Structure 1
Protein backbone atom coordinates (compact mmCIF):
# COMPACT_ATOMS: atom_id res chain seq x y z
CA UNK A 1 0.00 0.00 0.00
CA UNK A 2 2.90 2.35 0.61
CA UNK A 3 3.89 2.54 -3.11
CA UNK A 4 0.30 3.50 -4.00
CA UNK A 5 0.41 6.33 -1.44
CA UNK A 6 3.70 7.53 -2.88
CA UNK A 7 2.28 7.44 -6.39
CA UNK A 8 -0.83 9.29 -5.22
CA UNK A 9 1.32 11.95 -3.56
CA UNK A 10 3.40 12.36 -6.70
CA UNK A 11 0.27 12.60 -8.84
CA UNK A 12 -1.19 15.27 -6.51
CA UNK A 13 2.02 17.30 -6.71
CA UNK A 14 1.99 17.15 -10.51
CA UNK A 15 -1.62 18.31 -10.58
CA UNK A 16 -0.86 21.15 -8.18
CA UNK A 17 1.78 22.45 -10.58
CA UNK A 18 4.22 25.27 -9.87
CA UNK A 19 1.89 26.89 -7.33
CA UNK A 20 2.77 24.09 -4.93
CA UNK A 21 6.39 25.28 -4.78
CA UNK A 22 7.55 27.53 -1.96
CA UNK A 23 8.33 30.27 -4.45
CA UNK A 24 7.18 30.97 -7.95
CA UNK A 25 10.20 33.15 -8.77
CA UNK A 26 12.47 31.99 -11.55
CA UNK A 27 16.00 31.26 -10.47
CA UNK A 28 18.11 34.41 -10.49
CA UNK A 29 21.76 35.26 -10.25
CA UNK A 30 23.23 35.70 -6.79
CA UNK A 31 24.20 39.31 -7.53
CA UNK A 32 20.57 40.13 -8.42
CA UNK A 33 19.37 38.57 -5.15
CA UNK A 34 21.97 40.61 -3.25
CA UNK A 35 20.85 43.81 -5.00
CA UNK A 36 17.22 43.09 -4.10
CA UNK A 37 18.21 42.47 -0.47
CA UNK A 38 20.12 45.77 -0.42
CA UNK A 39 17.15 47.68 -1.88
CA UNK A 40 14.79 46.06 0.64
CA UNK A 41 17.10 47.09 3.51
CA UNK A 42 16.96 50.74 2.38
CA UNK A 43 13.99 53.08 2.82
CA UNK A 44 11.47 52.99 -0.04
CA UNK A 45 12.74 55.15 -2.89
CA UNK A 46 10.63 57.66 -4.81
CA UNK A 47 9.74 56.26 -7.27
CA UNK A 48 9.99 52.75 -5.74
CA UNK A 49 12.90 50.68 -7.03
CA UNK A 50 12.49 48.03 -9.72
CA UNK A 51 14.70 45.74 -11.74
CA UNK A 52 13.80 44.91 -15.34
CA UNK A 53 15.39 42.37 -17.65
CA UNK A 54 15.76 42.94 -21.40
CA UNK A 55 17.45 41.45 -24.39
CA UNK A 56 19.98 44.00 -25.71
CA UNK A 57 22.90 43.56 -28.11
CA UNK A 58 22.47 39.77 -28.17
CA UNK A 59 22.55 39.33 -24.39
CA UNK A 60 20.28 39.54 -21.38
CA UNK A 61 20.74 42.72 -19.37
CA UNK A 62 19.28 44.11 -16.16
CA UNK A 63 18.05 47.68 -16.01
CA UNK A 64 17.61 49.62 -12.76
CA UNK A 65 15.75 52.90 -13.39
CA UNK A 66 16.81 56.05 -11.52
CA UNK A 67 15.52 56.19 -7.97
CA UNK A 68 15.24 59.95 -7.86
CA UNK A 69 15.75 63.20 -9.62
CA UNK A 70 18.93 63.75 -11.60
CA UNK A 71 20.32 60.30 -10.82
CA UNK A 72 21.35 58.00 -13.67
CA UNK A 73 19.87 54.58 -14.33
CA UNK A 74 22.18 51.56 -14.41
CA UNK A 75 22.39 48.77 -16.97
CA UNK A 76 24.11 45.53 -15.93
CA UNK A 77 25.15 42.51 -17.97
CA UNK A 78 24.04 39.02 -16.89
CA UNK A 79 27.07 38.68 -14.60
CA UNK A 80 26.44 41.98 -12.77
CA UNK A 81 29.03 44.13 -14.54
CA UNK A 82 27.88 47.72 -15.12
CA UNK A 83 27.58 48.37 -18.85
CA UNK A 84 26.36 51.95 -18.84
CA UNK A 85 23.80 54.48 -17.61
CA UNK A 86 21.24 54.56 -20.45
CA UNK A 87 19.27 57.52 -19.13
CA UNK A 88 18.81 59.84 -16.19
CA UNK A 89 21.47 62.06 -14.66
CA UNK A 90 21.60 65.83 -15.02
CA UNK A 91 20.95 65.77 -18.77
CA UNK A 92 18.46 62.89 -18.69
CA UNK A 93 20.58 61.13 -21.34
CA UNK A 94 22.73 58.96 -19.08
CA UNK A 95 26.46 58.58 -19.66
CA UNK A 96 26.30 58.30 -23.46
CA UNK A 97 27.76 54.77 -23.60
CA UNK A 98 24.55 53.02 -24.70
CA UNK A 99 22.49 55.65 -26.46
CA UNK A 100 20.66 52.96 -28.49
CA UNK A 101 19.31 51.10 -25.44
CA UNK A 102 15.76 52.47 -25.65
CA UNK A 103 15.47 51.59 -29.37
CA UNK A 104 17.32 48.24 -29.36
CA UNK A 105 16.04 46.64 -26.16
CA UNK A 106 13.40 43.89 -26.36
CA UNK A 107 11.71 41.15 -24.33
CA UNK A 108 11.05 43.24 -21.23
CA UNK A 109 10.31 41.34 -18.05
CA UNK A 110 9.93 42.58 -14.51
CA UNK A 111 12.43 40.86 -12.22
CA UNK A 112 11.50 42.68 -9.01
CA UNK A 113 9.54 45.68 -7.85
CA UNK A 114 9.45 47.23 -4.38
CA UNK A 115 5.83 46.95 -3.28
CA UNK A 116 6.36 48.49 0.16
CA UNK A 117 4.42 51.65 0.94
CA UNK A 118 6.17 54.91 1.75
Structure 2
Protein backbone atom coordinates (compact mmCIF):
# COMPACT_ATOMS: atom_id res chain seq x y z
CA UNK A 1 0.00 0.00 0.00
CA UNK A 2 2.84 2.36 0.81
CA UNK A 3 4.51 1.82 -2.56
CA UNK A 4 1.24 2.47 -4.35
CA UNK A 5 0.74 5.80 -2.52
CA UNK A 6 4.32 6.83 -3.25
CA UNK A 7 3.92 5.95 -6.89
CA UNK A 8 0.66 7.89 -7.12
CA UNK A 9 2.25 10.91 -5.41
CA UNK A 10 5.25 10.71 -7.74
CA UNK A 11 2.98 10.48 -10.78
CA UNK A 12 0.91 13.46 -9.61
CA UNK A 13 4.07 15.46 -9.00
CA UNK A 14 5.33 14.61 -12.50
CA UNK A 15 1.97 15.52 -13.97
CA UNK A 16 1.99 18.89 -12.15
CA UNK A 17 5.55 19.61 -13.28
CA UNK A 18 4.67 18.69 -16.86
CA UNK A 19 1.55 20.86 -16.81
CA UNK A 20 3.47 23.82 -15.41
CA UNK A 21 6.18 23.36 -18.05
CA UNK A 22 3.60 23.12 -20.84
CA UNK A 23 1.81 26.22 -19.52
CA UNK A 24 5.02 28.25 -19.28
CA UNK A 25 6.58 27.11 -22.55
CA UNK A 26 3.62 26.00 -24.67
CA UNK A 27 1.14 28.85 -24.33
CA UNK A 28 1.43 32.54 -25.13
CA UNK A 29 0.14 33.46 -21.67
CA UNK A 30 2.65 31.08 -20.09
CA UNK A 31 5.51 32.59 -22.12
CA UNK A 32 4.44 36.05 -20.95
CA UNK A 33 4.40 34.81 -17.35
CA UNK A 34 7.83 33.24 -17.80
CA UNK A 35 9.21 36.44 -19.34
CA UNK A 36 7.76 38.48 -16.47
CA UNK A 37 9.31 36.07 -13.99
CA UNK A 38 12.68 36.36 -15.79
CA UNK A 39 12.39 40.15 -15.83
CA UNK A 40 11.55 40.12 -12.12
CA UNK A 41 14.56 37.94 -11.37
CA UNK A 42 16.81 40.21 -13.44
CA UNK A 43 15.47 43.30 -11.65
CA UNK A 44 15.94 41.62 -8.27
CA UNK A 45 19.51 40.71 -9.24
CA UNK A 46 20.23 44.30 -10.32
CA UNK A 47 18.70 45.61 -7.12
CA UNK A 48 20.76 43.23 -5.00
CA UNK A 49 23.94 44.27 -6.86
CA UNK A 50 23.14 47.94 -6.29
CA UNK A 51 22.47 47.37 -2.60
CA UNK A 52 25.66 45.31 -2.30
CA UNK A 53 27.74 48.05 -3.95
CA UNK A 54 26.17 50.73 -1.80
CA UNK A 55 26.68 48.77 1.41
CA UNK A 56 30.25 47.82 0.45
CA UNK A 57 31.01 51.51 -0.10
CA UNK A 58 29.43 52.31 3.26
CA UNK A 59 31.44 49.55 4.97
CA UNK A 60 34.68 50.90 3.42
CA UNK A 61 33.81 54.38 4.65
CA UNK A 62 33.12 53.10 8.17
CA UNK A 63 36.33 51.05 8.17
CA UNK A 64 38.34 54.08 7.06
CA UNK A 65 36.71 56.23 9.73
CA UNK A 66 37.38 53.61 12.42
CA UNK A 67 41.00 53.34 11.29
CA UNK A 68 41.45 57.12 11.43
CA UNK A 69 39.88 57.31 14.89
CA UNK A 70 42.08 54.46 16.12
CA UNK A 71 45.17 56.20 14.73
CA UNK A 72 44.16 59.47 16.43
CA UNK A 73 43.55 57.63 19.71
CA UNK A 74 46.95 55.94 19.45
CA UNK A 75 48.64 59.30 18.83
CA UNK A 76 46.83 60.81 21.79
CA UNK A 77 47.95 57.92 24.02
CA UNK A 78 51.56 58.30 22.83
CA UNK A 79 51.42 62.05 23.52
CA UNK A 80 49.93 61.47 26.98
CA UNK A 81 52.59 58.87 27.76
CA UNK A 82 55.32 61.27 26.63
CA UNK A 83 53.86 64.02 28.78
CA UNK A 84 53.67 61.74 31.83
CA UNK A 85 57.24 60.57 31.18
CA UNK A 86 58.49 64.17 31.09
CA UNK A 87 56.61 65.01 34.30
CA UNK A 88 58.14 61.95 36.00
CA UNK A 89 61.60 63.06 34.88
CA UNK A 90 61.00 66.55 36.28
CA UNK A 91 59.75 65.20 39.61
CA UNK A 92 62.73 62.84 39.79
CA UNK A 93 65.15 65.67 38.96
CA UNK A 94 63.53 67.91 41.59
CA UNK A 95 63.71 65.13 44.17
CA UNK A 96 67.38 64.50 43.35
CA UNK A 97 68.19 68.23 43.59
CA UNK A 98 66.34 68.48 46.89
CA UNK A 99 68.18 65.42 48.24
CA UNK A 100 71.53 66.82 47.08
CA UNK A 101 70.77 70.16 48.74
CA UNK A 102 69.77 68.47 51.97
CA UNK A 103 72.89 66.28 51.90
CA UNK A 104 75.07 69.35 51.26
CA UNK A 105 73.47 71.23 54.18
CA UNK A 106 73.97 68.20 56.42
CA UNK A 107 77.62 67.94 55.32
CA UNK A 108 78.07 71.65 56.08
CA UNK A 109 76.57 71.18 59.56
CA UNK A 110 78.84 68.20 60.18
CA UNK A 111 81.87 70.23 59.01
CA UNK A 112 80.84 73.10 61.30
CA UNK A 113 80.38 70.70 64.22
CA UNK A 114 83.78 69.13 63.56
CA UNK A 115 85.41 72.58 63.33
CA UNK A 116 83.70 73.64 66.57
CA UNK A 117 84.87 70.46 68.29
CA UNK A 118 88.42 70.98 67.00
CA UNK A 119 88.45 74.55 68.25
CA UNK A 120 87.25 73.44 71.68
CA UNK A 121 89.95 70.75 71.81
CA UNK A 122 92.62 73.19 70.66
CA UNK A 123 91.49 75.80 73.21
CA UNK A 124 91.32 73.44 76.11
Please give the TM-score of this superposition, normalised by the length of structure 2.
0.23
Larger RCO, structure (CA 8 Å, separation 6 or more): 1
Q: Which has the higher strand share?
A: 1
Q: Which has the higher helix share?
A: 2
